[in-house]
Structure 1
Amino acid sequence: MTAPTVAEGVANEMKKEHTMMQPPAAAVAPPPLRDASTITYGRMVESRGRAEAEYQSGAVAKQRLHKSVALAMRERSEVDLKSNTEAYAYQAESGFMDAAQNPLSTFSIDVDTASYANVRRFLNQGRRPPVDAVRIEELVNYFPYHYAAPAASDRDADGASPLAVAMEVASAPWAPEHRLVRIGLKGREVTMAARPAANLVFLLDVSGSMNQPNKLPLVKESMRLLIGKLRPEDRVAIVTYAGNSGLALPSTAVRQAAEILAAIAELSPGGSTNGAMGIHLAYDVAKANFISGGINRVILCTDGDFNVGVTSQGELTRLIGEKAKSGVFLTVLGFGMGNYKDSMLEQLADKGNGAYGYIDTKREAEKMLVEQVNGTLVTIAKDVKIQVEFNPAKVAGYRLIGYENRRLAKEDFNNDAVDAGEIGAGHTVTALYEIVSAGTQVPVAGAVDELKYQRVQPGTARGAPESASGELLTVKIRYKEPAGEQSLKREYPLNDAGLGFAAASSDYKLAAAVAGFGMILRDSPFKGTTTLADVTAWAQAGLGDDAGGYRSEFVRLVKQAETIQP
């Protein structure tokens, strides 16, 4: 008998775990009604029926949908909302800026997608998410967009650029008198055969708080999915932590998949959560097996509830920031509910040169660790910053939608010592600006007096000659190569052809719909009279080529939100 392949071994182990994870029939019975915000079982079944009809096109198998609905129902019945200790960082939404007084807007990119999956989890439970759980940029960036990859002409002095830029401007659907600018980045694609060898360390939380079906069992299933996408020469180590940390598996070549899968299968929860000890050990193991020119990454899987040892967010983020200097990148994957610490995990990813995702279902694990595995593992540019200069002759005011905790001082753009976000192979990043055209009153909360010494005298030239060029704005990008310390800069001007929303691309319409949805969930003062029905219409107009069914799922979630009281 021949030995099973890596893929066959993974499949066999997943079948075993799936059998073990199956709940008794009573576990998927209708949950008891707790309060007015609780979705009824009948409504859940009705939602499931609508979703099945939408997904029968083949985007998402009905079997996966059944599992997602059943899991959401089990979660709803298992969590006592009165003891909920989930934590989200406060975000103050930014308003409009006067373009004449503040012509520069600077921020770090963000490829995190955790907020979208977490919002989906709340909606599938029949509840609106907390306001601070909604980060609009992460909702928008959850979706793959059809941006062109870097072309041969997109070259720097030392070779092909890792990034391509796409821009589009049309009317804002929630405020047609305003313009909405979409700035998109696309990372260079890397094939599985061409990507560097990988040195991965799975840092897995096996504390007692992970003893729920949507925590450690889902972590184990997710890691098996990832093993199935790695090459035989890639290496994996497993570090676990609870009250103490331990090396469950030394660095092992994936060609020995049976050993890796056996180590994963043996994991069981118990004890308190000493995350700092696990972090130290995981980075030590990664550095001991460092591959020069390769992928060196720690993958942290946890609910974020660190409760012994170093527990403060400040100390843990400083620890991760120090570890990031070693050249080892970080991926943070959040799991579970009830005690979930989103604020902690987002900051760890930010300081660790990494990205942050939330895995609520096996389907989400497949998206991150199978379909987008190269983007998850391969960093093609780091410390990516965007600075937009607005032309006051065309723009009276502007506001960046989302990115509240990614804003930078204008001086930070040219300062290579200032940390910023990373982008993975094939990843897309989108930023949206709402613009008030010149000659229109800017809706600012507290206007300042007209400047005395900066006032332009009659008959004198106003601004640089470029202000009369007709350009709406210029986008400047800075980034470093993954192993580099000196940034490169590129610039892209944008003109406004006056397009209406109906004439915009499907990608543009979807991004606008998702931003509108986020504004409604956050009860933003900038949403105007926008309704969820409006968002549904915009999203349906933006379905386009819906590979993976993610856009159709978004439409379903918006309709689900309509049935839930705010």
Structure 2
Amino acid sequence: MEKLRDVIRISCLILISSAMLAAQSITISGKVTDFNSGEDLPGVNVLLKGSSTGVTTDLYGEYSIKVPSLKGILVFSYIGMEKKEVLIKGRSVIDVQLKADVAQLSEVVVTGTPSRNIFSKRKVASYQADQSYFPVDAEAPYHNSNTEEYQGLDENTFQEATQNPLSTFSIDVDAASYSNMRRFINSGQNPPKDAVRIEEMINYFNYDYKQPSGQDPFSINTEVSQAPWNKKHQLVHIGLQGKVIPTENLPASNLVFLLDVSGSMFAQNKLPLLKSGLKMLVDQLREEDKVSIVVYAGAAGCVLPPTSGNEKDKIIEALQNLQAGGSTAGGAGIELAYKIAKENFIKEGNNRIILATDGDFNVGASSNEAMEDLIEKKRKEGVFLTVLGFGMGNYKDSKMEILADKGNGNYAYIDNILEAKKVLVNEFGGTLFTIAKDVKIQVEFNPANVTAYRLIGYENRKLNNEDFNNDKKDAGELGSGHTVTALYEIIPKGVDSYFKPIDDLKYQQNKGKTEQSNYGDELLTVKFRYKAPDGEVSKLIVKTVDNSVRALDKTSDNFRWSAAVATYGMLLKDSDYIEKGDYKLVTDLARSAKGKDENGYRIEFIKLVESSSMMVEN
């Protein structure tokens, strides 16, 4: 009997110990390299199979992931490489080599080594959870509940061309919505509808527009064809191409890194990713450039005084020493950063603050209105603002967009190391150097040929018509080499459409015959206004678009690609205006317009669309 009790005690102890071990979080780390070259692979997705727990490798191909136990399977995936599944088998260190996937590489034009030119592919979970679920980082100790915030926007509706012939809006070169959307899709979830801003998805990609040839810093490109989702309607494509200025010809930069090191930035995809991204930016700096670093948590302080760009080791050491902890004194940090930027102001130079945060301001001037007033006041002193967003679970998209908009700057969301490379290295000039500010677009539609129109996206960039000629009204900025694309859906004259907005008015004079005789060949007129970066008076450019419609399969890659991205955005938003669009239409259009795709961004988009299609089917 005594022996039986001993056996029971031992069995209970074993069960208790096993339960305790199972309840603990185990850290597995390692390095991922290329099988053939041995090079480090940054941006590789590392996922615990059957869960949403995942991380990406850093700039040096290294990763660290917390899992419930030393059992299970880790899945390693990277665009251009074969996916690899590895049994954990009780190991805490797992190094992996990935081989090239010939089938994938045939779809991607690679111009350099894989670690620098292939865009990362993130694994999509095989299940579809509740749509209210927000993926969070399993390593972050501050994610007990989702507190992500997005600005709710109603989709643009059709406007009657006779009664409302003018459409006015500010350009938008931000692309944060696209990479944020990608984060959700790669976690097996559709993004919240309010997180999808179609213009930012379209403008995530570069387009093959001609370079400016005159004194103006951009060229204007237009094209008209069928709307892929409604063949009765037309789609108008308007594209701007900013002048490319070689890096060596850019003016000297006075950069202040304003970095959130509060407790909410603890996770691997926040402060550690931020530091890796900024190291790449530091590598681009020249001797005439200078960098300061301001951090904020419980309080704000300067951890690196103005330092020449050729002292890279000193700058990187300051970055490397940063640790996360404390609350978030965002207002105090911004005040200090602007003070330092102003004290080191470079006349005719690039004076800019680079704010990197998850947007979780909760101490000091924390309301959107207070932040907006603060940034508007400071931008008049000639210091612009770039905002880099990180993380998930407590991400404050609405606040980040306001800061960048009011600070005469741009806004990007960094979800992996290759996105950091895209924003801070590949698009260095466009991200950090403004060639034109307060860029506005006003389109006038000819009622002789247009019954109604609607602007696709730009819902939070619309302006009053009288704002177009008001030089005191703030608008968007255009960076070196940036492209800006806008699309209008049109109901042509004589087309019987379900979306006809209003009945004909009884007391308005019919001007159709006069308009037809004077401007019958014109579909619309596009007007642009912009200022020089240090100017206060705008310049006007006017371009007329004829009523000449191409067949969809005869349009440029630019047109079909933007149409494919717009259709995908409408599907994600469950748009009221998508008549016959589906995921197959998007992939067919996108594949026909993929072009060179040297960095793999477009094939990565096609993979995302295919993932969305699989989620719908399942």
Give the TM-score normalised by structure 2. Answer: 0.81
Between the aligned residues of both structures, percent identity stands at: 48
Q: Which consecutive unaligned segments of at least 5 residues does structure 2 have?
A: 1-38, 43-56, 84-99, 127-134
| 1:439 and 2:494 aligned | yes
Over residues 408-447 of structure 1, what are the superposed CA-to-partner deviations in whole Å (9 max), with x where a residue is unaligned?
1111100111110000000000000011111123544752
Over residues 264-318 of structure 1, what are the superposed CA-to-partner deviations in whole Å (9 max), with x where a residue is unaligned?
1111001000100000000111110000000000000000001111211111111
Over residues 10-46 of structure 1, what are the superposed CA-to-partner deviations in whole Å (9 max), with x where a residue is unaligned?
x99x9x98579631685999999xxxxxxxx889899
CA distance in structure 1 between the aligned counterparts of 2:426 and 2:202, rounded to whole angstroms: 18
| 1:484 and 2:525 aligned | no
Q: CA offset at residue 182 of structure 1?
A: 0.3
2:219 is matched with which residue?
164
| 1:526 and 2:581 aligned | no
**Is the contact made by 1:31 and 1:76 (CA closer than 8 Å) also made in structure 2?**
no
Are residues 111 and 450 of structure 1, via their aligned partners in 2, closer, same or farther at CA, if it must alter by over 3 Å?
A: same
Q: Which consecutive unaligned segments of at least 5 residues does structure 1 have?
A: 1-10, 33-40, 155-159
SS at match of 2:600: helix
2:63 is matched with which residue?
22
CA distance in structure 2 between the aligned counterparts of 1:355 and 1:46, rounded to whole angstroms: 28
Equivalent positions of 1:273-422 (< 5 A) are 273-422=328-477
2:199 is matched with which residue?
137
Q: CA offset at residue 489 of structure 1?
A: 0.1
Give the aligned residue type for 1:54: Q
1:54 is matched with which residue?
104
**Is the contact made by 2:147 and 2:393 (CA closer than 8 Å) also made in structure 1?**
yes
Q: CA offset at residue 72 of structure 1?
A: 10
2:168 is matched with which residue?
106
SS at match of 1:190: coil
Are residues 212 and 68 of structure 1, via their aligned partners in 2, closer, same or farther at CA, if it must alter by over 3 Å?
A: farther
Over residues 491-521 of structure 1, what are the superposed CA-to-partner deviations in whole Å (9 max), with x where a residue is unaligned?
0001132211111011111100000000000
SS at match of 2:514: coil
| 1:560 and 2:611 aligned | yes
**Is the contact made by 1:31 and 1:77 (CA closer than 8 Å) also made in structure 2?**
no
**Is the contact made by 1:395 and 1:435 (CA closer than 8 Å) also made in structure 2?**
yes
| 1:115 and 2:203 aligned | no
**Is the contact made by 1:231 and 1:254 (CA closer than 8 Å) also made in structure 2?**
yes
| 1:511 and 2:557 aligned | no
Q: Which has the higher helix share?
A: 1
Q: CA offset at residue 553 of structure 1?
A: 0.7
Runs of 4+ in 1 over 3 A off after TM superposition: 16-21, 24-32, 41-53, 55-82, 441-446, 463-466
Are residues 390 and 18 of structure 1, via their aligned partners in 2, closer, same or farther at CA, if it must alter by over 3 Å?
A: closer
1:150 is matched with which residue?
212
Are residues 203 and 72 of structure 1, via their aligned partners in 2, closer, same or farther at CA, if it must alter by over 3 Å?
A: farther
SS at match of 1:462: helix
Give the aligned residue type for 1:347: I
Q: CA offset at residue 356 of structure 1?
A: 0.5
CA distance in structure 2 between the aligned counterparts of 1:373 and 1:535, rounded to whole angstroms: 30
CA distance in structure 1 between the aligned counterparts of 2:70 and 2:599, rounded to whole angstroms: 29
1:455 is matched with which residue?
509
Give the aligned residue type for 2:585: D
SS at match of 1:498: coil
Give the aligned residue type for 2:246: T
Are residues 96 and 518 of structure 1, via their aligned partners in 2, closer, same or farther at CA, if it must alter by over 3 Å?
A: same
Are residues 316 and 31 of structure 1, via their aligned partners in 2, closer, same or farther at CA, if it must alter by over 3 Å?
A: farther
Give the TM-score normalised by structure 1. Answer: 0.88
CA distance in structure 1 between the aligned counterparts of 2:82 and 2:279, rounded to whole angstroms: 30
CA distance in structure 2 between the aligned counterparts of 1:169 and 1:417, rounded to whole angstroms: 33
Are residues 25 and 342 of structure 1, via their aligned partners in 2, closer, same or farther at CA, if it must alter by over 3 Å?
A: closer
Give the aligned residue type for 2:104: E
2:519 is matched with which residue?
467
CA distance in structure 2 between the aligned counterparts of 1:148 and 1:529, rounded to whole angstroms: 33
CA distance in structure 2 between the aligned counterparts of 1:174 and 1:28, rounded to whole angstroms: 48
Give the aligned residue type for 1:502: D
SS at match of 2:392: coil
Which of 473, 479, 500 is the matching residue for 1:424? 479
CA distance in structure 1 between the aligned counterparts of 2:466 and 2:501, rounded to whole angstroms: 25
Larger radius of gyration: 2
Over residues 397-418 of structure 1, what are the superposed CA-to-partner deviations in whole Å (9 max), with x where a residue is unaligned?
1110000000111111001111
1:85 is matched with which residue?
147
Give the aligned residue type for 1:147: Y
Give the aligned residue type for 1:119: M
Give the aligned residue type for 2:514: R
Equivalent positions of 1:171-186 (< 5 A) are 171-186=226-241
The count of corresponding residues between Structure 1 and Structure 2 is: 535
Q: CA offset at residue 130 of structure 1?
A: 0.3
Over residues 77-133 of structure 1, what are the superposed CA-to-partner deviations in whole Å (9 max), with x where a residue is unaligned?
457987111110001001111111111110000000000000001111111000000
CA distance in structure 2 between the aligned counterparts of 1:565 and 1:357, rounded to whole angstroms: 28
1:250 is matched with which residue?
305
Give the aligned residue type for 2:539: L
**Is the contact made by 2:162 and 2:447 (CA closer than 8 Å) also made in structure 1?**
yes
**Is the contact made by 2:255 and 2:291 (CA closer than 8 Å) also made in structure 1?**
yes
